[in-house]
Amino acid sequence: MTSTDEAAQLAAFEALTAGTAADPNAGGPKSDLNLDVILDVPVTLSLVVGHARIPIRNLLQLNQGSVVELERAAGEPLDVYVNDTLIAQGEVVVVNDRFGVRLTDVVSPSERIKRLR
């Protein structure tokens, strides 16, 4: 994602949340903010187990059954990204014969906004 895209997302987020603070003229929080317009927007959720950096020579030699060693040790948490922004870490779980992720540490909303800038 480019910094232009991130800036546009940040501007849109700030515009949507601008009315959530208490309005001194109204005597209470603004209640006409409607977030329903963004609730159905699809996002990409990615789980990163680890990374490896290998030369093209080794990449071309990979075949079925090859093992690629990752930089992350067994038992370390996965990174959970939404639209290329780290939002949490978690661990792999099995639920009804399917893989899932249990979130163990969630990045605070204020920290996520800082990372967009």
Can you state the angle between helices 3-17 and 109-116, rounded to 10 degrees?
140
Same domain? For 50 and 28 the reply is: no
Same domain? For 26 and 3 the reply is: yes
**b/e 58-68 (16+ beta carbons within 10 angstroms → b):** eeeeeeeeeee
CATH classification at residue 92 = 2.30.330.10
Mean confidence (pLDDT) of the chain: 81
pLDDT of residue 65: 97
pTM greater than 0.75 (yes/no): no
Contacts of residue 58, Cβ cutoff 8 Å, sequence gap at least 6 = none
Q: What's the number of domains the chain is made of? A: 2
Residues 29-84 pLDDT 10s: 555 567 888 888 999 999 999 999 999 999 999 999 999 999 999 889 999 999 98
Residue 117 to residue 109: CA distance in whole angstroms: 13
pLDDT of residue 3: 54
The CA dihedral of 108, 98, 43, 5, to the nearest 10 degrees, is 70
Structural domain boundaries enclosing 100: 42-116
* Helix H or strand E encompassing 9: helix 3-17
Same domain? For 53 and 96 the reply is: yes
